[in-house]
Amino acid sequence: MMKIFKFLVLVLFMSGCSFIVSKAANIKDIKKVTGMYDVGTQRMVWVDSTRTNWYEPDYGPYRKLMAQIWYPANISNTDKKSNYIDNNKALTYTIGLQGYDVPEILTNQIGYINCNSWENPKPYFQKKFPILIFSHGHGGLRTQNTNQVEELVSHGYIIIAVDHTFDAGFVEFPDGEIIYSLTSRPNDDPLVETAEQFYARFGFRVDDINFIVKQIDKFSKIDFDIDQIMDKSNIGIFGHSFGGLTAFYSTFFNDKIKSCYALDGWFEPLPDSLLFKDINKPIMHLGQNNKGDKQFWNDVNFTKMDNFIRSNSNYSVMIDIPGSNHYDYTDFTYFSYLAKKLNFTGDVSVDTMANIMNETLLDFFNYTLKNSNSPNIDYYQNKYREIDLLYLKESK
């Protein structure tokens, strides 16, 4: 039955009828935002001249990053909508390199997804907004959680994300250069990493975050208008999977980051020396900690996360969503019911997953960066039968 379905999808795609294909795949747009602000976005190439290139000989001497910033904006009649992703073919290719048998229909149709963001509009100048940094997972992309990014911006946040070069699924620069992940490279054998190489890659991720914080400090030289609406005294961070660990680790060592939120974080690489250290900052984790045959993470991952979070003397929360899938914590399972057919999504509806992520992220950062009340965990449990509170420590 599945083979017949895939064949039908392929035939529809080859027919070139994009309307029929879209209906067959049931492609969904990014959720409409609920906040009062329109969302603007800009893309930028950033070069960190303090860090030398460490892998590709043709890449250039210094660390180069593709950055994107989303911000509250004033939209004019001449502004145009932003694309969800700029290169569908590269996305299709990188998914194949990572070993996933995803019909080309899905990745090609991503080009038709409507976002809430507008390209390069003027900022909303009437007030200043806290800043959030987003870190994607291994093989992920800076736009992989656009549902969460745009919702947060609509409620008064500025968000900056980069593709972690060599760790992102792919990075495309404005000159057309495309760089794939070290562990899924075209025309070459994937890199089999030693522990030393892995932690070097992790270190570059963390230093990307530190570099973003430095860029925030001097943003008047990057974009004077956006700099005028930045509340630089309130910086938070969130990330998915490897990006969750990147976020927690960066928060521990960077004094300018005030709070941290992880979506189904990968904590296994967390150094043992930090397991019982007190981060003394508000932290929150939302993920799948399910056991048994469907267990995604091993016991080491959960134990490390549990020890680290329980060692915190500040506000701390761990919420489990039993039956969820790792990719349910991104946009990737949200767009089409085909994700369910291909076992990319779990037992919780994608709309419920998006709502839980959006609400908890907004409440957490409103509390830690805008001095609002702490998240109402009882409210979440009454509203969403899908969640299970694992741990809660209120602030002193």
User: Per residue in 291-349, pLDDT tens?
Assistant: 545 566 778 899 999 999 999 999 999 999 998 989 999 998 887 666 766 677 888 99
Q: What domain range includes position 96? A: 2-393
- Mean pLDDT over 56-74 rounds to 89
Q: Which of 24-33, 152-161, 273-282, 386-395 is the least confident region? A: 24-33
pLDDT on residue 10: 34
Query: pLDDT band at residue 193, thresholds of 50, 70 and 90?
Result: low
Question: Does 35 or 396 have the greater pLDDT score?
Answer: 35
Which pLDDT score is estimated for 299? 84
Rounded percentage of the chain residues whose pLDDT exceeds 70: 79
| pLDDT of amino acid 23 | 47
| Residue 226: per-residue pLDDT | 99
pLDDT, greater one: 199 or 197: 199
What value does the mean pLDDT of the chain take?
Answer: 86
List the single range of 6-20, 200-214, 245-259, 260-274 with lowest mean pLDDT. 6-20
Q: Is the pLDDT of residue 19 over 70?
A: no
The CATH number assigned to the domain holding 214 equals: 3.40.50.1820
CA angle 329/273/318 to nearest 5° reads 30
CA distance 76 to 248: 38
What type of residue is 340? K
* Mean pLDDT of the 237-256 span: 98
pLDDT of residue 180: 84
Q: Who has greater pLDDT, 214 or 9?
A: 214
Q: State the pLDDT at residue 14.
A: 32
The 3-state secondary structure of the chain reads CHHHHHHHHHHHHHHCCHHHHHHHHCCCCCCCCCCCCEEEEEEEEEEEEEEECCCCCCCCCEEEEEEEEEEEEECCCCCCEEECCCCHHHHHHHHHHCCCCCCHHHHHHHHHCEEEEEECCEECCCCCEEEEEEECCCCCCCCCCHHHHHHHHHCCCEEEEEECCCCCCEEECCCCCEEECCCCCCCCCCCCCCHHHHHHHHHHHHHHHHHHHHHHHCHHHCCHHHHCCEEEEEEEEEEECHHHHHHHHHHHHCCCEEEEEEECCCCCCCCHHHCCCCCCCCEEEEECCCCHHHCCCCHHHHHHHHHHHHCCCCCEEEEECCCCCHHHHCCCCCCCCHHHHCCCCCCCCHHHHHHHHHHHHHHHHHHHHHCCCCCCHHHHHHHCCCCEEEEEECCC
- Looking only at the bridges linking them, the beta strands covering 170-172 and 178-180 are antiparallel
What would the mean pLDDT of 241-259 be, rounded to a whole number? Answer: 98
57 has pLDDT over 90: no
Q: Which residues of 344-362 are buried (b: 16+ CB within 10 A; e: fewer)?
A: bbbebebebbbbbbbbbbb
Q: Which residues partner with 45 through β-bridges?
A: 66
**Quick one: pLDDT at residue 292?**
47
**Do the Cβ atoms of 153 and 71 come closer than 8 Å?**
yes
Between 109 and 377, the higher pLDDT residue: 377
Q: How many domains does the chain have?
A: 1
Residue 264 Rama label (left phi>0; alpha psi -120 to 50; beta): left
Q: How many CB atoms lie within 10 A of CB 105?
A: 21
Mean per-residue pLDDT for 218-238? 98
At 335 the pLDDT is 77
Q: Does the structure show a pLDDT above 50 at 137? A: yes
More confident: 64 or 54:
64
* pLDDT tier for residue 96 given thresholds of 50, 70 and 90: low
Confidence of residue 197 (pLDDT cuts 50, 70, 90): confident
pLDDT band at 114 (very low <50, low <70, confident <90, very high): confident
Q: Which residues pair with 231 in a beta bridge?
A: 130
pLDDT number for residue 181: 82
pTM of the model: 0.89
- Return d(Cα 90, Cα 95) in angstroms, integer: 9
Residue 135 has pLDDT above 70, yes or no: yes
